[in-house]
Amino acid sequence: MPKARAAAEKALTLDDTLSEAHAALGQVLFIYEWKRDAGMRELRRALELNPNDQNAAHWYAMALAGTGRFDEALAQIQRARDIDPLAPMVHANVGFILYRAGRHHEAVEQLRNFVAIEPGFVMGRYRLGLACEASGLHDEALENFRAMRPSADDPLAFTAIARTLALMGRQDEARQELARLLEIARTTYVPAALIAGVYVALGDVERTFEFLERGVEERAITLMWLPLDQHWESLRGDPRFARLLTNIGLKG
């Protein structure tokens, strides 16, 4: 991300009208540096310069969702989809925004339709799994997470499988998956915030905060959803949670 910011700023010194450079800078500011107002200004500037910049439209939609402005986010991501109707990540994120907005059943239906068209697109499966999990469709969630074919090289789905098993009350299986994750994390990057999601589903509050704090140190992208994610409901009364939000510029 620091390299991306440096490259975007260098590009802008050469030509301040490059929408792509403003969009890239805005993305770094919003999701990595947690300078959300500045990031959104850059993304809006990119769209002013080029309303057909698909990345800018897509990233701005996700930024709007990250600040809880879901109706605007859905309108914006529809614009991104109109610019490039074949972009699979945009289609997946339509469902993801619905999921983040708490419109879980709509998200499931939208993502089921998308996965039927693009069954091999991993992030579509992941987002469908999340929406199914939130809707209580745990078996379907597991089916989609497993269809991602997780491995030690790409362990994202293992975090979701472990969390879903914990939510189903299958604690022993969840802990086995968690042990595998922690072993993988010795040599491969596994976002600490996602491991925290497993611990909170298991009811281990202390380990949850330990890994959330590691996530802050990592500047994890997933933490942008911290105030909105239902996984953390049990923590909201804990003063450590409020401090975390303050640390990432979401409160205080």
Query: Which range marks the domain in which residue 170 is found?
Result: 150-252
Asked if the structure places residue 22 within a domain, the reply is: yes
Which has more pLDDT, 161 or 223? 161
Domain CATH code at residue 9:
1.25.40.10
Q: pLDDT tens for residues 59-94?
A: 999 999 999 999 999 999 999 999 999 999 999 999
CA 196 to each of CA 51, 91, 162, 212, 229: distance values in angstroms, whole numbers, following the listed order: 38, 28, 11, 6, 13
- Mean pLDDT, the chain, as a whole number? 95
Both tokens of 47, joined, read 């769209």
Number of domains, the chain: 2
pLDDT computed for residue 235 by the predictor: 93
What secondary structure letter does DSSP report for 250? S
Asked if the structure places residue 111 within a domain, the reply is: no
* Residue 232 and residue 203 in contact, taking contact as beta carbons nearer than 8 Å: no
Name the domain boundary from 44, 63, 82: 63
* Residue 251 and residue 233 in contact, taking contact as beta carbons nearer than 8 Å: no
- The DSSP-derived string for 61-92 is HHHHHHTT-HHHHHHHHHHHHHH-TT-HHHHH
